[in-house]
Structure 1
């Protein structure tokens, strides 16, 4: 890596390609507001702190999930299992109203839906929101985790799911 530093921002396609080279787990962030289940696929997810337990997710500013989550104040990060690629695609579709139609869900302790078959469900209350350009960076305080250690996580890299 001996490329000279650039003084200007990269082209969007180049930036997308570079970020796509970083393997990421795949999650579906869900919430429930006014009895309506809402969710979207998210790969921008990370732990922030162990004490107190905090996680971070990034949602597009125009996302229906962000709007509902901001109102409900609670959400669940469902870490998808390797065999749930179809679920990731379904929740990634913009404007889709049938995201929960073929998926078994259970109401979590704070009302956010837990998706059946996931590796882990992390239930959170919204603690902070920060400007992230065209996204909102949300920090959630973890209230409860449910993990199935027999499942292998779904991984996304370079525009495809990694089948290990």
Structure 2
């Protein structure tokens, strides 16, 4: 390939419709990103003498050397202070059969104490955080950085322990504001 070919745009060169649209707002933003299917996880930590948990789909692998993962947590979420103060946390990647768990842990106003009482779980061996039984995979992490990002914090953690099922069930995914199954 010549240098001229390498510099040539690969896609359409016309402006993308709506790219500079002044009517872009939070609702349209959520609608657009709702078109992006994501896995569903439960984040857990232990702070102030009890477990904290929340459903999350803003989870991304960052690096394999070292093993890093990031999560985005809303500043106003009760989980925010718990994860930033604790310094250790867990991720349980949910299977399709765990839809009720995802719904419960995303319910606004649920009791702060005893959130995991009705959910089978065990303690991670590296950090002691709760990890959900039956999850497709679990990870334990130690926080390495917290970055402010608008109305959220980006929490980066190094993986200190992980496990995954040998024969995973169907995955639980979130798409167009609904839980769905990926076979």
CA distance in 2, matches of 1:9, 1:134: 20
2:22 is matched with which residue?
8
TM-score by length of 1: 0.93
Secondary structure in 2 matching 1:31: strand
1:106 to 122, 127, 132: 122
Shift of 1:68: 1.1
TM-score by length of 2: 0.84
In the TM superposition, what are the counterparts of 1:56-71 in structure 2 within 5 Å? 56-71=70-85
In the TM superposition, what are the counterparts of 1:14-93 in structure 2 within 5 Å? 14-93=28-107
CA distance in 1, matches of 2:102, 2:89: 17
CA distance in 2, matches of 1:90, 1:7: 37
Unaligned runs of 5+ in 2: 1-11
Structure 1, 67-76 or 20-29: larger mean CA deviation: 67-76
Count residues with an aligned counterpart. Answer: 164
RMSD across aligned positions (CA): 1.6
Rate the CA distance shift 1:117–1:131 in 2: closer, same or farther, 3 A: same
Structure 1, 98-107 or 73-82: larger mean CA deviation: 98-107
Shift of 1:5: 2.5
Moved over 3 A (4+): none
Shift of 1:9: 6.2
2:7 is matched with which residue?
none
Question: Deviations 1:122-147 (Å, cap 9, x if unpaired)?
Answer: 10001000011111100000001110
CA distance in 2, matches of 1:95, 1:141: 30
Higher Rg of the two aligned structures: 2
Shift of 1:99: 2.5
Secondary structure in 1 matching 2:105: helix
